Amino acid sequence: MVVLLVFTPKLLFADSPLVPSEALVAPPLTLATEVIPPPPAFYRAETQAQDELIPLVQLPPQVEGPSFIELLLPAHTAPVAEAQGADIPSVASTPAEPIVPPPMIPLEITLDWYLNPQHAALLVAREKGMFVRRGLDVTLVSPADPTVPTKLLAAGRTDLALGRQPQLHLLAGKGLPLIRVATLIGTPMAGLLMRNPLANPNGEINLDDVHFGYTDLDGRDILLSRLLANVLTLEKGLELVDARNVHYSALDILREGVVDGVMINHRFLLPRQLADEGVASHFLSVEEHGIPIHDGLILMANRDKLNGKREAIRSLVAAIEEATLWIFNHPEQAWELLAAAEPALDDPATQDAWGHVFPRLSLQPAAVDHGRYRGFEQYLLDAGVLDSITPLERLAIDLGALTP
């Protein structure tokens, strides 16, 4: 496109006088431009190639009624509840409630004696939190008298009590609802501790004015009675001596010479204590004088109330097993833990006894030796201590078994 601009200039001469001139009128501007409008749209579409045409999409006819999504929704939707009288807060203004731990299950265990190394598994489980981790709040109670624990247990005034297998056979034969649920020490711990041997240097035994002590009924009616019968070869040996209940005073009366001997359940403790005070003693172990091997320390429950505490006692026994294994793996650390937890135990005699006691702890406290319990029951029946046999299932139970 060519645009021609035509101007007609007016010559100005230098010698023309400087007088005002009239305004110049610009000539009209003529554009030699031809504007061609674009072709219509239908013309462009017709000139495109056939394969360049955009296909037309035909929409389906509109269907009256609910849509597909609406058919999947419930027919009636509940209206959204709105807070009345107040706006719904978007940010919580108070902290969430703390998570409350489950309640602890209380269990009271009445001991058979003052705290001593034989109770190590219970003390370690308590101090190392093995009871707490199982949801148990365990309390250990020392009795006022060695004969009290089984009485409290039979009356339902304590959850569990410590004792000995001979004691269990004797009391169950008398009708008390006691049952063994765990073994803490699986060997005999009892014996007759005497100031002087029964026999003199000539081998003669003189029972005139002989006094023996005991701390509980099984110590008198089973252990002392049968030991004297076996040693003296007299079936009624107990009737030939003066036997008296010394309760917790075994050490004192032996030191003072009030009695000639005492049937004790802590063979590794009292002899050393007497020796430290300059008193010589002689010890007769029961298993070496005709009395069958038995469990030296057991945990008993009330048979009539066992079902309500079965799961808690099962957890307790599991904690005792864990504590016993830890003691075997770390005997020196275990003693340090006992001495720190119970300073009354931290003396030379108790520390010396520790080395003899911990190897006798039961590594499988829940397990029951059926032959041992049946055999001991038969022994007492044959000796005339019992009038009838108590079935094993009423004497001992393994809470860890599938069918206890």
Is residue 164 within 8 A of residue 112, CB to CB? The reply is yes
Phi, then psi, of 380 in degrees rounded to 5:
-70, -35
The pTM assigned to this predicted structure is 0.74
Q: How confident is the model at residue 93 (pLDDT cuts 50, 70, 90)?
A: low
Q: Is it true that domain 105-187+294-394 has CATH number 3.40.190.10?
A: yes
Q: Which of 16-20, 171-175, 203-207 has the lowest mean pLDDT?
A: 16-20
Question: What gap in Å lies between CA 2 and CA 120, rounded to an integer?
Answer: 119
- Specify the higher pLDDT residue, 104 or 78: 104
- Across all residues in the chain, what is the average pLDDT? 84
What's the CA gap between 38 and 229, in Å, rounded?
138
pLDDT of residue 101: 74
CA-derived radius of gyration, the chain? 51
* pLDDT score, position 102: 78
In the sheet where 297-302 sits, what is the strand order? Answer: 136-141, 105-110, 160-163, 297-302, 178-185
Mean pLDDT across the stretch 122-136?
A: 98
The answer to whether 237 touches 190, Cβ cutoff 8 Å, is no
Looking at residue 75, its pLDDT comes to 62
Query: Can you give the pLDDT at residue 286?
Result: 95
- SS3 call for 354: helix
Amino acid at 229: A
Residues 242 and 224: their CA atoms lie apart, in Å, by 12
For residues 171 and 266, what is the distance between their CA atoms, to the nearest angstrom?
21
Kindly tell me the burial class for residue 125, based on how many C-beta atoms sit within 10 Å of its own C-beta (0-12, 13-18, 19 or more).
buried
Report, as an integer, the average pLDDT of 212-240. 87
Give yes or no for a contact between 283 and 271, defined as CB atoms under 8 angstroms apart: yes
Mean pLDDT of 80-98: 60
Quote helix, strand, coil % in the chain, to nearest 5: 35, 15, 50
What is the C-alpha separation between 110 and 89, in angstroms, rounded? Answer: 56
Q: What pLDDT, on a 0 to 100 scale, did the predictor assign at position 4?
A: 47
Question: What is the tens place of the pLDDT at every residue in 383-401?
Answer: 999 999 999 999 999 998 8
How deeply is 55 buried, as exposed, middle or buried, from its count of CB atoms within 10 A (0-12, 13-18, 19+)? exposed
Stretch among 127-141, 192-206, 323-337 having the lowest mean pLDDT: 192-206
Indicate if the pLDDT at residue 213 is higher than 50.
yes
Specify whether domain 192-288 bears CATH 3.40.50.300: no
Q: Of 316 and 202, which is predicted with more confidence?
A: 316
Helical axes 348-357 vs 331-341, angle rounded to 10° = 140
High-pLDDT (> 70) share of the chain, %: 74
In this predicted structure, what is the pLDDT of residue 162? 98
Contacts with 173 (C-beta within 8 Å, 6 or more apart), sequence order: 380, 385, 386, 387, 388, 390
CATH 3.40.190.10 domain span(s) along the chain: 105-187+294-394, 192-288
Q: What are phi and psi of 70, to 5 degrees?
A: -65, -30
What digits encode the pLDDT tens for the residues 17-49?
445 555 555 566 555 555 555 555 544 544 455
pLDDT digit string, tens, across residues 276-322 = 999 889 999 999 999 999 999 999 999 999 999 999 999 999 999 99
Is residue 331 scored above 50 in pLDDT? yes
